[in-house]
Amino acid sequence: MKIAFDVDVLAKQMGINDMVHQVADWGYKYIE
């Protein structure tokens, strides 16, 4: 259970990081 939970948390964190990078990319495009 703990391992599955940790993997789930990591997956969510990676998803958040992907969202942050995507928003950052949009931000750079708007700045340009």
Taking the alpha carbons at both ends of the chain, their separation in whole angstroms is: 47
Q: Is the pTM of this model over 0.75?
A: no
Q: What is the mean pLDDT of the chain?
A: 78
Structure tokens at 24: 């950052």
Per-residue confidence at 1, pLDDT binned at 50, 70, 90?
Answer: low
CA distance 13 to 31: 27
Question: What confidence score (pLDDT) does residue 9 get?
Answer: 81
pLDDT of residue 4: 66
Query: Distances in Å between the alpha carbon of 12 and those of 2, 5, 29?
Result: 15, 11, 26
pLDDT number for residue 16 = 81
Largest CA distance in the chain: 47
Distance CA 25, CA 19 (A): 10
